[in-house]
Structure 1
Amino acid sequence: MSLMLCVRLWAVPGNEGLLATYEDEVLSLLGDHGGRLVQRVRSVERGEGPYEIQLVELPDEAALEAYLADPRRLAAAPIRDRSVARTEVTRVTQV
């Protein structure tokens, strides 16, 4: 059974562009793990909510673990550390 994840990302204030660059890079790796980006949206209002929300689908838990451990993704961690203030991941299902 496939996994659907809702990923909510808060940017470090002033580093929204860097967060977008980081996400562009790591989301491009999903296909190498059998996954896909279903939807990606950004807030049009500055406030306390997340800057970006993504729906990501992966075939199974092993694919998720492989994606999270991908050396290319891990190499980008310094960019993530400078740009992402907070991340929340929720497993979801379509209704």
Structure 2
Amino acid sequence: MSVVLCVTLWPNPGFEEEMVAYEDGVLALLPEHGSRVVARVRTLSDAAASEGAEPPFETQIIELPDDSALDSYMRDPRRLAGADVRDRAIARTEIQRVSLA
């Protein structure tokens, strides 16, 4: 059974470009794990925050064949090697399992 994730990301202030570069790199690894980016979108700069909450900078929909592929991707040494960049650039990440409609 496939796994579909909705990933929302908030960069640290001033680190938007570094976050995008990091995500470009790690998302490029997905096909090697039999997975794909279904969609990758960014919030418009003039979007109003709802109820005072800051909207995410980027939202990704990722489809993986199964939990084993997700584990393999999460443990990929190339992905893990960028942990320092991720920690510096990304303030918050939320991941939800979703279904494609």
TM-score, length-scaled by structure 2: 0.91
> Which residue in 2 is equivalent to 1:88?
94
Q: Which runs of 4+ in 1 moved over 4 A?
A: none
Percent of pairs with identical residues: 54
Bigger-Rg structure (1/2): 2
Deviation at 1:45, TM superposition (A): 2.2
Unaligned runs of 5+ in 1: none
CA RMSD of aligned residues (A): 1.0
Q: Deviations over 1:46-85 (max 9, x none)?
A: 6511100000000000000000000000001111011100
**Unaligned ranges ≥5, structure 2:** none
CA distance in 1, matches of 2:69, 2:100: 20
Which residue is 1:26 aligned to? 26
TM-score under structure 1 length normalisation:
0.96
Tell me the SS of whatever aligns to 2:17: helix
Residue 69 of structure 1 corresponds to 75
Deviates more, 1:12-21 or 1:38-47: 38-47
Name 1:56's counterpart in structure 2. 62
